[in-house]
Chain A
Amino acid sequence: METTILECREISKSFGGVRALKKVDFSLRQGEVHALVGENGAGKSTLIRIISGALLPDEGEIWYGGQKVEITSPRLAQGMGISAVYQDPLIYPYLSVVENIFLGREIKTPRGNIDWKRQEEKAQELFASLNIAPHFLRQPMGELSVGLQQLVLIAKALAYESQVIIFDEPTAILTEHEAERLFQIIETLREQGVGIIYISHRLEEIFQIADRVTVMRDGEVVGDYPLSAVNREMIVELMAGKHLVEEIEHGGEKSEQPVLVVKNLTKKGKFEDISFEAFQGEILAFSGLVGSGRTDVAQAIFGIISPDSGEIYYRGEKFKVHSPRHAMEQGIAYLPEDRKSQGLFPILSVSYNITVSILRQITNHLGIVNTRKEREIAEKYVKELSIRTPGLEAKVFSLSGGNQQKVVLAKWLGVNPRILILDEPTRGIDVAAKAEVHQMIAQLVERGIVVIIISSELPEVLKLADRVIVMHEGKITGVFEGEDISSTNLVRAATGERVLPGKSD
């Protein structure tokens, strides 16, 4: 048996009262490919961020090479021999491949200058050990394909003589051919005795290359098996688990005719052949993994990105959307997933944030904003959504996350939308605020607003949705209604199994 190189014992970590990891045990042997799987928010990334030094655990111990260690920074982790290759390669596009490999750890001449010759020789060696002929050493990194960029990062990890390499969704950005090459390299690394932590949502890959799999759910390890002892179904069951969710009832009545019809909508590299209908009186949810293209579809309907082909019909008529402003004027509102970058004006007041989209509707005939009306509207929503703020003039950055989210929601309710798309409406807000937002969503449906939710949290989808569309890598892989909305079904579709009733291929 190979020796254990890395061991995490009872690691716990909380973020603002939310437990992200609960007494997690994890171990990695030399020359082992250890897969780490789980839904979004299961705690995988928190765990690898702790292992790679980006986060410190609240409790628990890390043992590395037989010693108890404290990994306080990514730099320290790299020095110790723990490297991570992330999904989006972190590169310096204008610097050469050699510079990217040795940046911050340059090989120097005795006088302290950079020894270019030896760096290049060393780089040659590194790529040779990966069985790659490096004809691109002097090229700027940005000119390489993402697949090659990833290889450079692996070479960089080897330059640090890494004992542990973490791969976070490495194949998400690769072509099939590139992925095959990566698997061969991983095989080579394994033979060299490197321990590999492999995170992927593509379960078939895991069966192809991994020796062991650890399944996480809700911040806990729910299974640690040799690959030979499990099958796909078991892993899906473990990932999905049993969610005890009380469904929220709403009194909305589903309309006969759909309000929104999307047909074969395609945006190259983002989503493909997306068709669905949305009705008044029901909550339609988009489920799936982060990056599966759900947000892009929503942004295409709202006019932030323009699709390459496909059609949108709105209230029975063909609808071509030019800009967010146009979509808004037509009654479509979109609450963005990232409220910090797309939703809020942090240094401006609560009142300003709520009314910014409707200023033109509350002007008099001279085009002057009616400030009394503005204050009334802001007051109304602060009350209705119980936004806790010291006052209408308070700057939004001083509010809690949940209340900030309610401010963004208030802005969109203010435009009186016919269709309201909510992208991750409860991300990063506390449990109480979350429950309030859920109640509010139910009320909106009763009022006749067509509500479309995008959510990565299974419990949220199970709780709210009347109908669920699951996306995987830009395609719809499942549509569920009523009884069929189960965590197992959603996870199956989210990991790429096609679960389309009557539409399977």
Chain B
Amino acid sequence: MINFQRIVRRREFTVLVLILILSAIFSFTTERFLSVSNITNLLLQLSGVAITAIGMTMVIITGGIDVSAGSTLGMACVVSGYLLMGGYSPFLALVLAVLVGLGIGFVNGAIIVWGDVPPIIATLGMMNLIRALMFQTLGGRWISGIPPACRTIGLGKWLGVPIPMWIATFLIIVFSYFLSYRPLGRHIYAVGNNPEAARVSGVNLKSTIIFVYALTGALAGFAGLINAARTGIVQTNSGMGFELDVIAAVVLGGTSALGGRGTIIGSLLGAFLVGIIKNGMVLLNVPALSEGLVIGALIIISVLADIIRARRETR
């Protein structure tokens, strides 16, 4: 039997209702919201966030954070942009973009685990460092005019849905399964809820933490390739602020900032919520300032709700 009360009380349900309400409002107040081109655009924009949010969800479940995801995406854009322009196969670009992200994520994890550096500090340093490297590489110029033949992965459609969204969906299913059914995936929750008990229970803390950062890096790298292929342009500020959208999606989607709980599906819904708010406000011609106001307020409310719940439980 389905327990409706339990479903209603979940964060995912609240977010879904919010999405439906906002969609309804935007489709009545604007003409373009429900148009095919707008929805395609919306899905394209949020697919990168959704893909990276898979890793970020795991990072935040362990009680950490990764603010270097935007720079990582940017660096992957640069690498794949050069390769695509140079006539190399899109497949090679894909592999290298993912590898670059993986490398950055691994270094993040290593600094956190072996250096005992707080995640926010380690990844903040990495964020600046990678951004500076990007600037160095591009030398103040930008890449444009990536040949259309290489851009299928960013622009193509299948059954009317953009390919990046198909990729995001596939990865979300795979990694949701991973979190529920693989020992390593399950251990991520243990590490987040009580690291000391996890260690005593035989969980390898260090490799678990390195894994989640490396995965987040790799996924941000993948999103970088998609981004380069979609827009056809790579600039020094590519991916700037992207990490904030990803973190917002994860936190709104119910992953506890205190660690120990969260789902990837929740983060997908969070990504939709953030995407729809941004998209709708542009269509309504609301100044960009209020967008931050709404998303910021939502983040604070959702974290407060999380903390109030935790307080009630420990009592």
* CB pair B189 A345 closer than 8 Å: yes
In the assembled complex, the CB of A220 is this many whole angstroms from the nearest CB of chain B, namely: 32
Docked Cα-Cα span, A363 to B203, in Å, equals 16
Given A352-B186, A369-B182, A369-B186, A328 contacting B202 (CB threshold 8 A)? yes
* CB pair A341 B194 closer than 8 Å: yes
Cβ 8 A contact of B183, one of A329, A348, A367, A398 = A367
Given A324-B199, A348-B193, A359 contacting B183 (CB threshold 8 A)? yes
Docked Cα-Cα span, A415 to B193, in Å, equals 21
Taking Cβ atoms with an 8 Å cutoff, the residues of B that contact A are 181-183, 186-187, 189-190, 193-194, 196-204, 260-261, 310, 313-314
- Whether, in the assembled complex, A41 has its beta carbon less than 8 Å from a beta carbon of chain B, the answer is no
Docked Cα-Cα span, A212 to B61, in Å, equals 56
* CB pair A356 B196 closer than 8 Å: no
Docked Cα-Cα span, A334 to B196, in Å, equals 13
- Whether, in the assembled complex, A118 has its beta carbon less than 8 Å from a beta carbon of chain B, the answer is no
In the assembled complex, the CB of B312 is this many whole angstroms from the nearest CB of chain A, namely: 10
- Whether, in the assembled complex, A411 has its beta carbon less than 8 Å from a beta carbon of chain B, the answer is yes
Q: Which residue of A lies closest to B259 (CB)?
A: A347
- Whether, in the assembled complex, A91 has its beta carbon less than 8 Å from a beta carbon of chain B, the answer is no
Beyond the given pairs A304-B200, A343-B197, 20 more chain A to chain B contacts, judged by CB atoms under 8 angstroms and listed by A's residue number, are A329-B202, A336-B197, A336-B200, A341-B197, A342-B200, A343-B200, A345-B193, A345-B198, A346-B194, A347-B260, A347-B261, A347-B313, A352-B186, A356-B198, A359-B183, A359-B187, A363-B183, A369-B186, A371-B181, A397-B313
- Whether, in the assembled complex, A357 has its beta carbon less than 8 Å from a beta carbon of chain B, the answer is yes
* CB pair B189 A368 closer than 8 Å: no
* CB pair B183 A369 closer than 8 Å: yes
Given A346-B313, A367-B182, A397-B314, A325 contacting B203 (CB threshold 8 A)? yes
- Whether, in the assembled complex, A283 has its beta carbon less than 8 Å from a beta carbon of chain B, the answer is no
Docked Cα-Cα span, A366 to B314, in Å, equals 38
Docked Cα-Cα span, A176 to B2, in Å, equals 68
Docked Cα-Cα span, A345 to B198, in Å, equals 8
* CB pair A325 B202 closer than 8 Å: yes
* CB pair B196 A348 closer than 8 Å: no
Q: Per-position contact with B for A445-470: 1 when CB-CB < 8 Å, else 0? A: 00000000000000000000000000
Interface centre among A325, A363, A397, A398 (most CB of B within 10 A): A325
* CB pair B190 A348 closer than 8 Å: yes
Docked Cα-Cα span, A415 to B182, in Å, equals 18
Q: Which residue of B lies closest to A361 (CB)?
A: B183
Q: B residues within 8 A CB of A395?
A: 313
In the assembled complex, the CB of B15 is this many whole angstroms from the nearest CB of chain A, namely: 20
Docked Cα-Cα span, A304 to B196, in Å, equals 10
Q: A residues within 8 A CB of B181?
A: 368-369, 371
Q: A residues within 8 A CB of B196?
A: 341-342
Which residues A299-350 have CB closer than 8 A to chain B?
Answer: 302, 304, 323-325, 328-329, 334, 336, 341-348
Q: B residues within 8 A CB of A356?
A: 186-187, 190, 198, 201, 203
Which residues A352-404 have CB closer than 8 A to chain B?
Answer: 352, 356-357, 359-360, 363, 367-369, 371, 395, 397-398
Docked Cα-Cα span, A363 to B184, in Å, equals 11
Given A324-B201, A336-B200, A345 contacting B190 (CB threshold 8 A)? yes
Docked Cα-Cα span, A345 to B313, in Å, equals 13
Q: A residues within 8 A CB of B197?
A: 336, 341-345
Docked Cα-Cα span, A344 to B198, in Å, equals 9
Q: What are 27 sample pairs from A and B whose C-beta atoms fall under 8 A apart? A: A304-B200, A324-B201, A328-B202, A329-B202, A336-B200, A341-B194, A341-B197, A342-B197, A345-B189, A345-B194, A345-B197, A347-B260, A348-B189, A348-B190, A348-B193, A356-B187, A356-B201, A357-B201, A359-B183, A359-B186, A367-B183, A369-B182, A369-B183, A369-B186, A397-B313, A398-B313, A411-B201
Given A367-B182, A371-B181, A357 contacting B202 (CB threshold 8 A)? yes
Docked Cα-Cα span, A479 to B198, in Å, equals 34
Docked Cα-Cα span, A359 to B187, in Å, equals 9
Q: Which residue of A lies closest to B183 (CB)?
A: A359
In the assembled complex, the CB of A345 is this many whole angstroms from the nearest CB of chain B, namely: 4
Docked Cα-Cα span, A259 to B117, in Å, equals 41
Q: A residues within 8 A CB of B189?
A: 345, 348, 352
Q: A residues within 8 A CB of B200?
A: 302, 304, 324, 334, 336, 342-343
Q: A residues within 8 A CB of B260?
A: 345, 347-348
Q: Which residue of A lies closest to B261 (CB)?
A: A347
Q: B residues within 8 A CB of A360?
A: 183
In the assembled complex, the CB of A326 is this many whole angstroms from the nearest CB of chain B, namely: 9
In the assembled complex, the CB of A174 is this many whole angstroms from the nearest CB of chain B, namely: 29
* CB pair B204 A325 closer than 8 Å: yes
Q: Which residue of A lies closest to B6 (CB)?
A: A393
In the assembled complex, the CB of A323 is this many whole angstroms from the nearest CB of chain B, namely: 8
Docked Cα-Cα span, A77 to B100, in Å, equals 61
Docked Cα-Cα span, A10 to B68, in Å, equals 62
Docked Cα-Cα span, A367 to B185, in Å, equals 11
Docked Cα-Cα span, A224 to B313, in Å, equals 44
